[in-house]
Amino acid sequence: MYRSDTFLWPEGTPPSDAYCDEDERLAILAAYGTASMVDDPELQEIAELAARICNTPMAMVTMVEEGRQQFLARTGLEARETPRSTSFCAHAMLGAEPLVVADAREDARFTDNPLVTGEPHIRFYAGYPLVSAEGAPFGALCVIDTVPRAEGLTALQRNTLAVLAKSVMRRLSQHRLGATAKQAVHLRESYLKRMIDSVPGIAWSTDAAGKFDYINPQWTELTGLPAPRTLADWRAAVHPEDWENAAGAFQHSLTSGAPFEYEWRLKLADGAFRWMLSRAVKSEVGNGESRWFGTVIEIDRQRRLSEARDLLANELSHRIKNIFAVVSGLVSIRARRRPEAAKFADELNQAIRALGAAHNYVRPDHGHREGTLTGLLSDLLAPYGSAEETRFTIAGPGIAISPRAATPLALIFHELATNSAKYGALSCPEGQVTVLVEETGADGGDISVVWEESARSCDIPAPGAHEGFGSRLLRMAVEGQLGGTFERSYSDDGLHVRIGFPRKSIDS
């Protein structure tokens, strides 16, 4: 908020010498934009009140310009301006106190003034200087009578005119501030519009009902179509296969207020289609009103690269699954020729099938879309046990894991299980593996997995042995992908591994 006293020049102080220079004075006067305040209702009320209080037929709010005196408000006078050379207010505005002329015919400054010798036959004049906050003299609030007044103004009239003169300057200053604020807003809007128009994507806005009132030039440049005004106008530019779902999703957002996000294909001016990502959010703009602001950004290259990577990954996954199937088939064929090995072949096929199930976790989009950490551990360790022989124990709550987290988790525990089968507890008949899953931290915000290998009669590798690519893979998956910690220690009794990570890294 602006304080009212910042609008006013100190009362009883003459104008600033710096702003009495005519060029400087006129520059400040122009900055106030007084030309647009002619017949301002508030100033008109002030002039009329001044005339009634002083019991004069005429009162004016005057601005002294380079060659004329303009009346922003007036009563009792038809003219809207007079020449500056005849202006009483040009004298009044330069003083520290109001100018009071009891009888203009007897004042040497005004005896020959055309406004005294002719219409409107000024005799009595009282003018309070109007000075800007900078100290520039503008004009005066004056009252005029056609008969002389030897007594001048009463104390009440002087005080009232002083208050009204301050009100005039407050009104002029508020007008200036308002104009300055509007100009600043217009300038910022202009900058913002130029910025939005320069971005490579499409930007748009709608009212709360979804009526489009702005869309930047990129729309027409890309599509060759006029700017849309309704949602239906977009149909010509959206791939037919995408239109119903995309339009429905946007309509749902309009109804629910939820953010809008959708991928669809945009038809370009040359007839080609490009994948786009469209986003929009609802924003409150004041007075209980809301608007939608959105963007449309091309993601065609990223989309096609992603599709190509998925195609390659799918093909690799399919080939790996085929390898499991081929190996299992070869084992079955060879076992038919050797009945004595049938039991062993059946156990081996079960292990191969379990490995295939574990592979589904590495490619979560093509296997387990939902699951738990203990379930994943059971699938991964299944190849290393049998119905008659339990080599491992898994305990802990069924903590859900997301498809995104399944990949690093499967890599981590598959690597531990493989190492155990090669060098640790699962490499000897007496070895046992115990896995404990725990919720730790405040409100279970962290997860801890303890992997214990008990292998008293097995050869336990010395610390640092067999720590090559697999160990680096473990640490990269735990620390890099899950944001967790990995600790491993060996003892005479076996191996102890503790893995900790934030819960949010596996459930989102």
Amino acid at 212: F
Torsion of CA 106, 110, 114, 120, to 10 degrees: -70
Q: Is residue 190 part of a domain?
A: no
- 139: which strand partners? 63, 130
Length of the chain: 508
Amino acid at 401: I
Q: Is residue 193 part of a domain?
A: no
The number of folded domains in the chain is: 4
Q: Which of 326, 391, 314, 321 is nearest to 355 (CA)?
A: 321
137/29 Cα distance (integer angstroms): 9
- The pair of three-digit structure tokens given for residue 306, joined into one six-digit string: 């992603």
- 140: which strand partners? 62, 129
- 277: which strand partners? 263, 297
Where a domain ends, among 334, 367, 400? 367
Q: Are residues 313 and 326 in the same domain?
A: yes
Q: Is residue 431 part of a domain?
A: yes
Q: Are residues 507 and 393 in the same domain?
A: yes
Q: Is residue 192 part of a domain?
A: no
Q: Is residue 379 part of a domain?
A: yes
**Which pLDDT does position 358 carry in this prediction?**
59
**Which pLDDT does position 82 carry in this prediction?**
94
> What angle do helix axes 342-362 and 300-337 make, rounded to 10 degrees?
170
333/204 Cα distance (integer angstroms): 66
Q: Are residues 153 and 242 in the same domain?
A: no
Where a domain ends, among 252, 283, 298? 298
Q: Is residue 195 part of a domain?
A: no
- 291: which strand partners? 207, 283
Q: Find the CATH number of the domain harbouring 233.
A: 3.30.450.20
**Which pLDDT does position 369 carry in this prediction?**
43
**Which pLDDT does position 430 carry in this prediction?**
80
Q: Are residues 272 and 252 in the same domain?
A: yes
The helix (H) or strand (E) run that includes residue 99 is strand 99-101
Which H, E and C letters describe 360-378, residue by residue? HHHCHHHCCCCEEHHHHHH
Q: Are residues 130 and 59 in the same domain?
A: yes
Q: Are residues 211 and 335 in the same domain?
A: no
298/112 Cα distance (integer angstroms): 80
Q: Is residue 342 part of a domain?
A: yes
What residue ranges in 146-288 does DSSP mark as E strands? Answer: 202-207, 212-215, 260-267, 273-286
Q: Is residue 351 part of a domain?
A: yes
Q: Are residues 324 and 427 in the same domain?
A: no
How do beta strands 494-502 and 289-298 pair? unpaired
Q: Find the CATH number of the domain harbouring 378.
A: 3.30.565.10
127/99 Cα distance (integer angstroms): 5
Q: Are residues 362 and 388 in the same domain?
A: no
Q: Are residues 324 and 417 in the same domain?
A: no
How do beta strands 212-215 and 260-267 pair? unpaired
**Which pLDDT does position 3 carry in this prediction?**
39
Whole-model pTM? 0.44
**Which pLDDT does position 4 carry in this prediction?**
42
The helix (H) or strand (E) run that includes residue 501 is strand 494-502
219/144 Cα distance (integer angstroms): 64
Where a domain ends, among 117, 150, 182? 182
Q: What range does the domain containing 326 cover?
A: 301-367
Q: Are residues 126 and 244 in the same domain?
A: no
Q: What DSSP assignment string belongs to 403-422?
A: HHHHHHHHHHHHHHHHHHHH
Q: Are residues 17 and 137 in the same domain?
A: yes
Q: Convert the pLDDT of each residue in 428-438 to its tens digit.
A: 878 888 999 99
Q: Find the CATH number of the domain harbouring 23.
A: 3.30.450.40
Q: Are residues 330 and 442 in the same domain?
A: no
Task: Spell out, as residue ranges, where the chain has pLDDT lower than 50.
Answer: 1-5, 364, 367, 369, 387, 466
Residue 158: count of CB within 10 angstroms of its CB: 17
